[in-house]
Amino acid sequence: MDAFSYTDIFDTKGIEYLVVIAFLAILIPVWIWLNKPVKQGAGIMDGIRGLSTAILRIPAGLYYDQHHTWAVLEKNGFARIGVDDLLLHMTGGVSVDYLKNEGDKVSKGEWVARIFKDDKELKIPSPVSGEIRKTNKSAQKSEGLINADPYDKGWLCKIKPGDWRNEVSGYRMDKDADEWVKTEVERCRDFVLSQLEPVENGESSKVMLAGGELIDHPLSEMSAETWNKFQQEFLH
């Protein structure tokens, strides 16, 4: 009968297994650490919001003009006017300055205010004719108020209208306004695309998401010249 023999694992393949286990114990934490920047970068991209109707406020009961202004008749007979949420989501944070004073007469389509950021501006036309009874000094003094609350606290002017019924008869309300804003989002997208430099210069990545949707506040990344063109196409 053969004598019992003892084999030490360290004299055979066992030592190789231990080396592999030790290597994996080092490799896995290093791999996780190296991948952290990639995951963080993806999280940042996921946090960039797209400009769609899902994020836009379109309150019912207001009259919306094609020039992205709105009007509502108050109980005292004054028309409160302002700019719509889509326009503000195009520009990003803006300040307000007035081009008309209280007591001035204004015609429908005449500039009453401007919204601006640095050297870029958009002039805002009045959706109704009449006499300006009040300008919103809070919107002028408090930077960002118009963006945060364009329909309540961020209105622009209160006007004693001269021909309210006729002037708002062609404006959109409620569901009609909802459908119109959808088409305007697409028109804004087409406008921004038309202003981009060639894709190889990387300009599209500043204002477009991977799926072709506009980022929120695309005009904030664009030039004063582009703002002027936007003025002519959407607010003139």
Confidence (pLDDT) at 108 = 97
Confidence (pLDDT) at 204 = 55
69 shares its domain with 172 = yes
**Domain containing 151: what range?**
52-236
- Looking at the structure of the chain, the number of domains it has is 2
Q: Cβ atoms within 10 A of the Cβ of 28, count?
A: 10
4 domain residue, yes or no: no
Is 20's pLDDT higher than 80? no
Is 162's pLDDT higher than 60? yes
Q: For the residues 167-187, what does the mean pLDDT come to?
A: 96
* Residues ≥6 apart with Cβ < 8 Å to 19: none
Is 45's pLDDT higher than 50? no
Confidence (pLDDT) at 210 = 72
Confidence (pLDDT) at 39 = 38
Confidence (pLDDT) at 105 = 98
Quick check: 88 and 146 in contact, CB under 8 A? yes
Quick check: 71 and 63 in contact, CB under 8 A? yes
23 shares its domain with 91 = no
- The band of 154, judged by pLDDT with boundaries at 50, 70 and 90, is very high
Is 42's pLDDT higher than 50? no
Is 70's pLDDT higher than 80? yes
Q: 181-190: per-residue pLDDT in tens?
A: 999 999 999 9
Q: Cβ atoms within 10 A of the Cβ of 170, count?
A: 9
Confidence (pLDDT) at 196 = 85
Q: How far apart are CA 165 and CA 232, in angstroms?
A: 27
**Least confident range of 44-48, 111-115, 120-124:** 44-48
Instruction: Specify the CATH number for the domain of residue 172.
Output: 2.40.50.100
Confidence (pLDDT) at 212 = 77
Q: How far apart are CA 55 and CA 89, in angstroms?
A: 9
Q: Give the tokens for residue 14.
A: 């066992």
Sign of CA dihedral 65, 112, 147, 236: positive
Helix H, strand E, coil C: the string for 159-208 is EEECCHHHHCCCCECHHHHHHHHHHHHHHHHHHHHHHCCCHHHCCHHHHE
Task: Tell me the backbone φ, ψ of residue 45, rounded to 5 degrees.
Answer: -65, -40
178 shares its domain with 162 = yes
Is 41's pLDDT higher than 70? no
Q: What amino acid occupies position 140?
A: Q
Is 29's pLDDT higher than 70? no
132 shares its domain with 207 = yes
1 domain residue, yes or no: no
Confidence (pLDDT) at 18 = 60
